[in-house]
């Protein structure tokens, strides 16, 4: 083997030695970091620490430490004589490589060098074979990886403690968008509804009960971004408003059909509408595909029952009780929302699965399942402004008076005094009043 | 500068020498190898074994095969230093009387100091200068010994009555200690046959000259050794010291004094010579492994606990060997 070729071999072996050294350092760092960070993850999870309680954060810290360890270990120059001796052991060349390196500048030992080189194998020297990763390094890496995996699994199995309500003022508020009826019979009274809700809550394990919330947030937030219709119309728009919006859109784009979101939104009104109106909506859904969407929309919009009928409210809202009927029709998940007559409508407590207050359940048709939609809300709206986002079935405020003189789009005044008077008039328990007050305080951030 | 021709010539000479001695001595390959290594490294060998195992024959065969001068000194309690190194005697030349140095038996190329532990320490020490410095001082005059020069001393491990154990300083001057063991049965039968039939044992004669031996010495000394191997030898020596972090527990428990730096030098040179005798051009791990015990065995001094518990130095050397890896 010529001297340049030997120099190439030496360089390759030195590079490999640095890599192995880097792995050695990285294995030690990984084991230590796994023990420290992931060891902290369990108490962090239990105690609700902001970062270390999250397995992903701990894993990222371990990975970053490991990478740094590798880079630091690899940055150190290789001890070539020692490296070559190790390579000799790995290759079984009986110290030939290291001896050749020792005498490469000794011309007086040329006969020895020639004899030594002749004893080297003819095949190219494989650096990975010459300097394999030490078993203890591989074992240490395996231990670190196992420890990390085990800790992540263990930490994931520990439920996160729920932060106090006041601790998360800016958390997304999940608005119920769909309230299909359930076969379960509705409690006849408010107390029955509360008991039924409590029984369901008890039957659902904590982890399971929190999972739908997370799922809902992940799926519905994207739908909010995709279209405003499926969320807001159902919570705040009437059927008439929804149809008007569709009309405007189709008029601007003649020949276009209903979008999926619009179909989905309109379909929700079919269920609670009168037979005639439901038929008209079905016709609209069926025929709009044939290109006469605008005419069909206008035809439905022209129907008097769209304006006057209770069907002008979304199905969930439609099921909300009228002031005189709520005691027998509200479901347990329903939350009172102000109606024109000053009586609560329905809705759900934001972020909760189902209502928790007796009066929310008054008059519901039965227990319902709620799909939650996340929306990013204004941080502060003050005493007046567009709080229509908040006027959902979750919010016990009165909608604006159904005064035809009031122009559409007039900002609604948000007044706890008003809501408080309504609530007091219903002889609500003090804890419920307190909840209402706290909710108002939260959404207005202290405003009235 | 060593040429390829020099290497081949020296290698051939040593091969012939090994073969010639092997034809006379049955078995004892390790002892023959140790003797040749000492010859190549300007070293001395301590042969330990009971009488009658062929130690003297080995030394005589080696000297005869190389044409070197051989002398044998039987050490006894009344042996005096002058009996070994020689003395000035009065001689008369052309009517003039003057002191003339009469060299003792130490003036040879191959010296066999038989049962060296039977002589007094004073006489034993007469060998020190010759073994280490290759000179002999008588009175105020220093005489150089002729190269190649090698002292092979024997010890009887059984008869301890009336013996004077070699002091540590003198033990350290022996490069190797070789144990001459009792031959195997087939070897024993062969020995009997060779000594009782025909003309008996005939000392070998070869074409190897003292100059060939000197050339082989030079070549063996030039055999390269890797830095990592040198470091390995250093670690082995360090591990024999109780205070070293490298030392095994047995060393800390039973060793009073570990090997000296002279041991590291001896192991390096002996490994080179061993590689050369194997026809190799560099020191291999196996060379160190083969010479580790012969070089270290007589250099470790047991402490009181080791002595009282009858600890064998060989077992401690095994621990050292296992404890110190070739690559760290």
- Per DSSP, the residues of A65-99 read HHHHHHHHHHHSPP-HHHHHHHHHHHHT-TTHHHH
**Under a CB-based contact definition with an 8 Å cutoff, are residues A235 and A266 in contact?**
no
Q: Band of the pLDDT at A423, cuts 50, 70, 90?
A: low
In chain B, residues with a C-beta closer than 8 Å to the C-beta of A113 are 224, 281
- Residue-level length of chain A: 448
| Closest chain A C-alpha to B20 CA, distance in angstroms | 26
DSSP state of B303: -
**CA–CA distance, B28 with B184 (Å, rounded to integer):** 10
Query: Is residue A84 less than 8 Å (CB to CB) from chain B?
Result: yes
User: Cα–chain-centroid distance for residue B251?
Assistant: 25
Percent of chain A past pLDDT 90, that is, above it, reads 0
**CA–CA distance, A329 with A322 (Å, rounded to integer):** 9
For residues A409 and B154, the model is more confident at B154
Residue of B nearest to A116 (CA): B281
Please report the pLDDT score of residue A389 as a whole number.
53
Q: What are the beta bridge partners of residue B301?
A: B257
Nearest to A115 among B228, B229, B281 (CB): B281
What is the average pLDDT across B269-274? 94
Domain B223-328 adopts which CATH fold? Helicase, Ruva Protein; domain 3 (1.10.8)
For residues B244 and B207, the model is more confident at B244
Instruction: Enumerate the domain spans of chain B.
Output: 1-198+207-222, 223-328
| Closest chain A C-alpha to B268 CA, distance in angstroms | 14
Of the given ranges (A136-140, A171-175, B10-14), which has the lowest mean pLDDT? Answer: A171-175
Mark yes or no for CB contact A112/B224 under 8 Å.
Answer: yes
In chain A, residues with a C-beta closer than 8 Å to the C-beta of B222 are 108-109, 112
What is the average pLDDT across A173-196? 43
The chain-wide mean pLDDT, for chain A, equals 65
Q: Mutating which of A99, A115, A130 best tests the B interface, going by the most B Cβ atoms within 10 A?
A: A99
Mark yes or no for CB contact A99/B326 under 8 Å.
Answer: no
Q: Band of the pLDDT at B286, cuts 50, 70, 90?
A: very high
For residues A354 and A313, the model is more confident at A313
In chain A, residues with a C-beta closer than 8 Å to the C-beta of B231 are 81-82
Whether the predicted pLDDT of B54 surpasses 50 = yes
**Could you read off the pLDDT of A169-181 as tens digits, one per residue?**
444 444 444 444 4
Whether the predicted pLDDT of A313 surpasses 80 = no
Please report the pLDDT score of residue B296 as a whole number.
93
Of the given ranges (A2-16, A99-113, A175-189, B197-211), which has the lowest mean pLDDT? Answer: A175-189
A2 phi, psi to nearest 5 deg? -75, 165
Whether the predicted pLDDT of A15 surpasses 60 = yes
Of the given ranges (A176-190, A207-221, A419-433, B241-255), which has the lowest mean pLDDT? Answer: A207-221
B143 phi, psi to nearest 5 deg? -115, 135
Whether the predicted pLDDT of A288 surpasses 70 = no
| Closest chain A C-alpha to B21 CA, distance in angstroms | 27
CA torsion B6-B12-B16-B22 (nearest 10°) is: 110
Instruction: Name the pTM for this structure.
Output: 0.59
Give the pair of three-digit tokens for residue A176: 């119920």
For residues B278 and A205, the model is more confident at B278
| Closest chain B C-alpha to A84 CA, distance in angstroms | 8
Picking from B307, B302, B284, B165, the residue whose alpha carbon sits closest to that of residue B233 is B284
What is the average pLDDT across B310-326? 91
Mark yes or no for CB contact B327/A99 under 8 Å.
Answer: no
| Closest chain B C-alpha to A35 CA, distance in angstroms | 27
Query: Is residue A78 less than 8 Å (CB to CB) from chain B?
Result: no
**Under a CB-based contact definition with an 8 Å cutoff, are residues B68 and B59 in contact?**
no
Mark yes or no for CB contact B284/A95 under 8 Å.
Answer: yes
Which residues fall within 8 angstroms of residue A125, CB to CB, at 6 or more apart? A9, A12, A13, A87, A91, A97
**CA–CA distance, B163 with B225 (Å, rounded to integer):** 40
Please report the pLDDT score of residue A165 as a whole number.
44
**Could you read off the pLDDT of A64-120 as tens digits, one per residue?**
888 898 898 888 888 888 888 888 888 888 888 889 888 888 877 888 888 888 888
In chain B, residues with a C-beta closer than 8 Å to the C-beta of A84 are 226, 228
What is the average pLDDT across A394-416? 53
Please report the pLDDT score of residue A446 as a whole number.
55
Please report the pLDDT score of residue A357 as a whole number.
35
**Under a CB-based contact definition with an 8 Å cutoff, are residues A347 and A360 in contact?**
yes
| Closest chain B C-alpha to A160 CA, distance in angstroms | 48
Please report the pLDDT score of residue A252 as a whole number.
80
In chain A, residues with a C-beta closer than 8 Å to the C-beta of B280 are 115
Chain A residues 113-132 within an 8 A CB cutoff of chain B: 113-116, 119
Please report the pLDDT score of residue A211 as a whole number.
36
Q: Mutating which of A95, A116, A117 best tests the B interface, going by the most B Cβ atoms within 10 A?
A: A95
In chain A, residues with a C-beta closer than 8 Å to the C-beta of B7 are 111-112, 115
Mark yes or no for CB contact A98/B229 under 8 Å.
Answer: yes
For residues A350 and A117, the model is more confident at A117
Nearest to A95 among B2, B285, B328 (CB): B285
Mark yes or no for CB contact A114/B4 under 8 Å.
Answer: yes
In chain B, residues with a C-beta closer than 8 Å to the C-beta of A115 are 7, 280-282
Mark yes or no for CB contact A84/B281 under 8 Å.
Answer: no
How many Cβ pairs within 8 Å bridge chains A and B?
Answer: 80
Q: Band of the pLDDT at A215, cuts 50, 70, 90?
A: very low
What is the average pLDDT across B300-319? 90
Give the pair of three-digit tokens for residue B229: 């191997």
Top mean pLDDT of A73-82, A230-239, B216-225 is at: B216-225
**CA–CA distance, B271 with B282 (Å, rounded to integer):** 9
Please report the pLDDT score of residue B165 as a whole number.
84
Whether the predicted pLDDT of B114 surpasses 80 = yes
Taking the alpha carbons of A21, A24, A29, A34 in that order, is the dihedral positive or negative? Answer: positive
In chain A, residues with a C-beta closer than 8 Å to the C-beta of B282 are 94-96, 99, 112, 115-116
Please report the pLDDT score of residue B97 as a whole number.
87
CATH no. of B1-198+207-222? 3.40.50.300
Chain A residues 86-105 within an 8 A CB cutoff of chain B: 86, 88-89, 94-96, 98-99, 101-103
Q: Band of the pLDDT at A291, cuts 50, 70, 90?
A: low
Q: How many CB atoms lie within 10 A of CB A304?
A: 8
Please report the pLDDT score of residue A345 as a whole number.
38
Mark yes or no for CB contact A81/B231 under 8 Å.
Answer: yes
Query: Is residue A82 less than 8 Å (CB to CB) from chain B?
Result: yes
B100 phi, psi to nearest 5 deg? -130, 135
Q: Band of the pLDDT at A419, cuts 50, 70, 90?
A: low
DSSP state of A344: B
| Closest chain A C-alpha to B281 CA, distance in angstroms | 5
Whether the predicted pLDDT of A359 surpasses 50 = no
């Amino acid at each position: 083997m010529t001297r340049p070729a030997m120099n190439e071999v030496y360089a390759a072996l030195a590079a490999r030695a640095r890599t192995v050294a880097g792995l050695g350092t990285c294995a030690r760092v990984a084991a230590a970091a796994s023990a420290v960070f992931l060891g902290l993850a369990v108490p962090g999870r239990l105690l609700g620490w902001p970062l270390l309680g999250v397995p992903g954060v701990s894993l990222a810290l371990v990975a970053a430490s490991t990478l740094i360890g590798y880079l630091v270990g690899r940055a150190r120059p290789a001890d070539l004589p020692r490296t070559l001796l190790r390579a000799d052991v790995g290759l079984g060349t009986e110290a030939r490589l290291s001896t050749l390196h020792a005498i490469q500048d000794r011309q007086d030992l040329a006969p020895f060098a020639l004899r030594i080189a002749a004893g080297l194998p003819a095949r190219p020297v494989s650096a990975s074979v010459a300097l394999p990763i030490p078993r203890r390094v591989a074992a240490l890496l395996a231990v670190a990886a196992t420890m990390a995996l085990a800790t992540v699994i263990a930490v994931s199995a520990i439920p996160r403690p729920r932060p106090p309500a006041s601790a998360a003022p800016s958390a997304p508020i999940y608005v119920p968008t769909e309230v299909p009826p359930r076969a379960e019979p509705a409690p006849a009274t408010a107390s029955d509804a509360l008991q039924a809700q409590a029984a369901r809550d008890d039957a659902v394990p904590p982890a399971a009960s929190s999972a739908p919330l997370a799922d809902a947030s992940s799926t519905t937030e994207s739908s909010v971004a995709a279209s405003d219709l499926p969320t807001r119309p159902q919570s705040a728009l009437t059927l008439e408003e929804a149809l008007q919006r569709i009309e405007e859109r189709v008029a601007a784009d003649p020949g276009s059909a209903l979008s999926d979101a619009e179909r989905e939104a309109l379909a929700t009104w079919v269920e609670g509408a009168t037979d005639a109106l439901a038929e008209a909506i079905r016709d609209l859904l069926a025929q709009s595909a044939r290109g006469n969407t605008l005419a069909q929309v206008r035809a439905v919009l022209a129907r008097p029952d769209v304006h006057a009928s209770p069907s002008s409210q979304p199905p969930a809202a439609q099921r909300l009780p009228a002031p005189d009927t709520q005691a027998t029709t509200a479901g347990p998940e329903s939350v009172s929302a102000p109606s024109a007559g000053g009586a609560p409508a329905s809705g759900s407590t934001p972020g909760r699965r189902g209502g928790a207050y007796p009066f929310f359940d008054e008059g519901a048709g039965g227990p319902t399942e709620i799909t939650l939609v996340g929306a990013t809300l204004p941080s502060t709206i003050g005493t007046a402004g567009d709080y229509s986002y908040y006027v959902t079935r979750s919010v016990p405020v009165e909608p604006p008076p159904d005064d035809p003189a009031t122009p559409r789009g007039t900002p609604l005044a948000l007044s706890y005094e008003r809501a408080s008077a309504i609530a007091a008039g219903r002889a609500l328990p003090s804890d419920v009043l307190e909840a209402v007050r706290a909710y108002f305080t939260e959404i207005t951030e202290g405003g009235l | 500068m060593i040429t390829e021709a020099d290497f081949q010539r020296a290698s051939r000479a040593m091969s012939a020498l090994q073969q010639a001695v092997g034809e006379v001595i049955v078995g004892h390959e390790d002892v023959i190898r140790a003797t040749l290594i000492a010859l190549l490294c300007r070293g001395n060998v301590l042969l330990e074994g009971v009488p009658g195992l062929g130690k003297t024959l080995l030394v005589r065969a080696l000297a005869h095969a190389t044409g070197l001068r051989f002398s044998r000194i039987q050490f006894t309690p009344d042996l005096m230093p002058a009996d070994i190194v020689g003395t000035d005697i009065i001689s008369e030349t052309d009517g003039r009387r003057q002191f003339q140095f009469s060299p003792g038996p130490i003036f040879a190329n191959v010296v066999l100091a038989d049962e060296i532990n039977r002589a007094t320490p004073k006489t034993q020490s007469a060998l020190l200068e010759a073994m280490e410095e290759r000179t002999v001082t008588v009175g105020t005059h220093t005489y150089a010994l002729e190269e190649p020069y090698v002292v092979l001393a024997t010890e009887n491990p059984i008869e301890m009555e009336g013996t004077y154990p070699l002091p540590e300083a003198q033990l350290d001057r022996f490069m190797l200690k070789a144990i001459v063991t009792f031959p195997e049965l087939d070897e024993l039968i062969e020995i009997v046959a060779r000594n009782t039939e025909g003309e008996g044992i005939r000392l070998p004669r070869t074409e190897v000259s003292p100059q060939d031996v000197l050339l082989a010495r030079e070549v063996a000394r030039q055999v390269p050794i890797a830095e990592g191997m040198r470091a390995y030898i250093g670690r082995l020596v360090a591990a024999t010291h109780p205070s070293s972090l490298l030392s095994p527990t047995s060393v800390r428990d039973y060793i009073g004094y570990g090997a000296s730096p002279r041991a590291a030098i001896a192991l390096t040179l002996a490994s080179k010579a061993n590689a050369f005798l194997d026809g190799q051009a560099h020191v291999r791990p196996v060379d160190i492994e083969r010479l580790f015990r012969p070089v270290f065995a007589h250099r470790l001094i047991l402490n009181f606990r080791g002595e009282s518990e009858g600890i064998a130095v060989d077992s401690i050397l095994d621990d050292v060997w296992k404890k110190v890896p070739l690559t760290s």
